[in-house]
Chains A and B, each alone.
Chain A
Amino acid sequence: MPHVHRFADFVHELQQLEKASLATQGPSILDAFARHTRFDSGALYLRDTRGSGLRLAAKSLTCVAPEILDPNVRAEDAVLPSPAVVVALQSHRESVGVLALSTQAIDDSMEDDVAFVRTAAAFLSTLLTNQRLMQETREGDFQLKYRLWELESLYDIGLSIASTLNVDELADEILFRMISLTNARRAALYLREDGGFKLYRSFGDVREGFLEAELTEQLIREGKPLTFDGAAACLFPSCETFVAVPIRTGNNDQVIGVLAAADRETREGGIGAFEENELRLLSLFGNQVAIALENARLHRDALEKQVMERELELAATIQRDILPKAIPQIDGVEIAALSRPARQVGGDYHAFFVREGVITALVADVAGKSMPAALLVSALHAVLQLLFAEGREIGEIATELNRHIHNWSAENKFVTMVMVSIDREHETLQYVNAGHNPAYLISGGNIDTIKSHGLPIGILSGTRYVTQTRAFPAGSAVVLYSDGITEAEDMDGNEFDNPRLEALLQQNIDCGAAVIRDQIAQAVDAFVDEAPQKDDETLVIVRRA
């Protein structure tokens, strides 16, 4: 076959090898040289893509050749049997390999074959260089895209700040992204709890519990990622490499958690140390995570507050609905009432009952606030409606009420209550004061108090309340109130107190019930000024014409 045809066939075969990876093409190249030339044995060295040395890519069975070609040793001396021709595979940039070929059929026409080999080797050099450049371009493209992806991940975590407010979902996303970013095999997220950092989420084999105090202190002190190699006793059992990053909030520089990852994979299939650029990336990632976690925490707090406010609103509604919608209209009796619930619902209650011309007014104050207090007020209201409907006298009602409240309500729940019944026919005022503030009785130009004569309702199950009686002639008035009136505080924390209330009553001793109510309300408002209302304020005034 003419040389030119042989060479064309050979080049075509080499071109077909271009698609094969560098790692697998060595034997095919050597085989092509054996079939197209008279050199039937030898060795091929190609430059290692991971290093700078020449690594054995292929050798014939009869050939002895070292795995790595020492740069100080000639191929003629390193390969056995000693090759008849050695060609450096060289591009304009660098050496890409060495081809050492032998033959047993040495004769005078060898020169042509050597020239043939050298020409084919030159073509092979260009082919290998092109292949290497293509691979480098692809790897460069991959690395570029990978950096873009890293930046996108940081950006996405930033976006999660706005979209993921559930800490559990956020924790998963943080872990997944950290593992992807670092090529780690295992990872863990620790959050501050009980003065330490407790495992919150993990991926792979991770020890449960808290981070070691020593590591925690070091992370807080240094405030930057810490790496360890061969960390046998670390939180990832049997890990080879390990990194931990503090999650530090920007506003008060507090470490709120720790991100940790272990066993960074390398492209070669092994485990490598976490590199400097990965530590920088993790630091940035930690900052984004801090903001995301803080945001989720604030959102959770806001939700809890919202729930509490809804509860308060519901409690206020319950309380509002059971308070009298209208004041009873009875000839010869003027009644005025005031009910101002505090923002945080308390347990003030007032009610009116009219039975056979006898009007009963009561003011009660349930211990506690919010929903529990509102529910007790609701129970109090229901029991009172039933007991009054049964026609019992007020001492008996208080006794029975005490028994019910004590049995039904939770421990430490009690009610102070003052109850007055005005009988115009007999001109008497009957009352029961169960641990409540003293009420005021205005009669004949004098102000007298109606003090407590029994324990608050609900303290002891067997308590009996005995109805007390006073004279209540025409023109007399009775003033019932809750401690929200007398304990209303001004800006300096001073209480309105009973002497001020008594002085007001004295000043308005002959006034109607509505006037007395308004005077007290105005005086309390003026005293309190801009100070917030701390407790429910209830006022009931009944005056005989």
Chain B
Amino acid sequence: MGETMTDELRVAVDRRGASGAVLYTKGYINNVGGEEIANRAYELMDDGVRTLLLNLRETKIVNSIGISILIEIIEKMIDKGGKIGFCSLTPVIHKTFQIMGLANYASIYTDEENAAKELDM
């Protein structure tokens, strides 16, 4: 039987104190999805967040435009003196991040618990 998967991205935010937040994504990180993440991330940065964890547990696909937007978010956070981490990546996305250089500027963690501990959230 044919099986259909959705292409929409949903984002949820969980604030962790005054300067921390976890951003949960569900769906495809493409141009539209990447912009959605960027908007939320920039709002959080403007609101004083300097440690941002992106939990990609429910994201299975990311394309090159989505990656370039994620790089912009990382650069912006570094400019502000903050840090960004990613957790719960699929093996394919993990490898993609490593090849595309995201792993050089942001930490990648196996799960949220581990990430929260390491990022002191």
Q: Residue on B with the closest CB to A208?
A: B2
Q: Does B2 contact A202, Cβ atoms closer than 8 Å?
A: yes
- Whether A201 sits at the interface, judged by CB under 8 Å, is yes
- Interface residue A255 (Cβ < 8 Å from any Cβ of B): no
Is B31 in contact with A269, judged by CB distance below 8 angstroms? yes
- Residues facing B in A166-222 (CB within 8 A) are 171-173, 175-177, 179-180, 183-186, 198-206, 208
The reply to whether A145 and B5 form a contact with Cβ atoms under 8 Å apart is no
Name the A residues within 8 Å of B63 (CB-CB): 179-180, 183-184, 265
Which residue of the partner chain, among B4, B60, B71, B99, contacts A152 with CB atoms under 8 Å?
A: B99
Shortest Cβ distance from residue B13 to the other chain A in the assembled complex, whole angstroms = 24
Given contact pairs A149-B100, A173-B92, A176-B61, A202 touches B30 in the complex (Cβ within 8 A)? no
For residue B29, give the distance in angstroms from its CB to the closest CB of chain A: 10
Closest to B72 in A: A21
B5 surroundings in chain A (CB, below 8 A):
175, 201-204
Q: Which residues of chain A are within 8 angstroms of B68 by Cβ–Cβ distance?
A: 142, 267
Task: Chain B residues near A176: list those with CB within 8 A.
Answer: 60-61, 92
Inter-subunit contact B99/A202 (CB<8 Å): no
B31 touches A202 (CB 8 A): no
Let me know if A408 is at the binding interface, CB within 8 A. no
Minimum CB–CB distance from A159 to chain B (whole Å) comes to 11
A156 within 8 A of B: yes
Measured between alpha carbons, how far is A208 from B1 in the docked complex, in Å? 10
Contact A19 B4 (CB under 8 A): no
**In the bound complex, do residue A183 and residue B99 qualify as a contact, i.e. CB atoms below 8 Å apart?**
no
Please provide the chain A residues from 195 to 254 with a CB less than 8 Å away from any CB of chain B in the complex.
Answer: 198-206, 208
> What residues of A have a CB within 8 angstroms of the CB of B92 in the complex?
156, 173, 176-177, 180
B16 within 8 A of A: no
A327 at the interface (CB under 8 A from B): no
0/1 string, A344-369, CB within 8 A of B gives 1 = 00000000000000000000000000
One of A152, A180, A203 near B62 (C-beta < 8 A): A180
CA distance A179 to B101 in the complex (A): 20
Those of B38-84 within 8 Å (CB) of chain A = 60-65, 68, 71, 79
A199 near B30: Cβ-Cβ < 8 Å: no
- Interface pair B2/A201, CB less than 8 Å apart: yes
The CA of A186 and the CA of B61, in the complex, are separated in Å by: 11
Is A19 a contact partner of B2 (Cβ separation < 8 A)? no
Known: A142-B68, A145-B101, A265-B65. A180 touches B6 (CB 8 A): no
Whether, in the assembled complex, B15 has its beta carbon less than 8 Å from a beta carbon of chain A, the answer is no
Instruction: Tell me, rounded to whole Å, the shortest Cβ–Cβ distance linking B63 to chain A.
Output: 5
- Structural contact, B2 and A145, CB atoms closer than 8 A: no
Q: B14 within 8 Å of A by Cβ?
A: no
- Interface membership of chain A positions 317-334, coded 1 if the CB is closer than 8 angstroms to chain B and 0 otherwise: 000000000000000000
- B107 within 8 Å of A (CB atoms): no
Q: Which residues from chain B contact A19 at a C-beta distance below 8 Å?
A: 79
| Cα-based distance from A265 to B30 in the complex (angstroms) | 8
Among candidates B61, B79, B95, B100, residue contacting A146 with C-beta atoms closer than 8 Å: B100
Q: In the complex, which of the residues A152, A171, A183 contacts B95, with contact meaning CB atoms closer than 8 Å?
A: A152
Q: Which residues of A contact B4 (CB under 8 A)?
A: 202-204, 206
Those of A120-176 within 8 Å (CB) of chain B: 141-142, 145-146, 148-149, 152, 156, 171-173, 175-176
Chain A minimum-CB-distance residue to B99: A149
* Complex contact B28–A148 (CB within 8 A): no
A180's nearest neighbour on chain B, judged by CB, is: B63
A248 to B68, CA, bound (A): 33
10 contacts between A and B (CB under 8 A): A142-B68, A156-B92, A173-B92, A179-B28, A180-B63, A180-B92, A185-B28, A199-B2, A203-B7, A267-B65
Nearest 4 interchain pairs by C-beta: A204-B7, A199-B2, A149-B99, A183-B63
Binding site for B on A (CB under 8 A): 19, 141-142, 145-146, 148-149, 152, 156, 171-173, 175-177, 179-180, 183-186, 198-206, 208, 265-267, 269
Given A152-B99, A176-B61, A198-B2, 6 new contacts (CB under 8 A): A146-B100, A149-B100, A172-B60, A177-B92, A183-B63, A202-B3
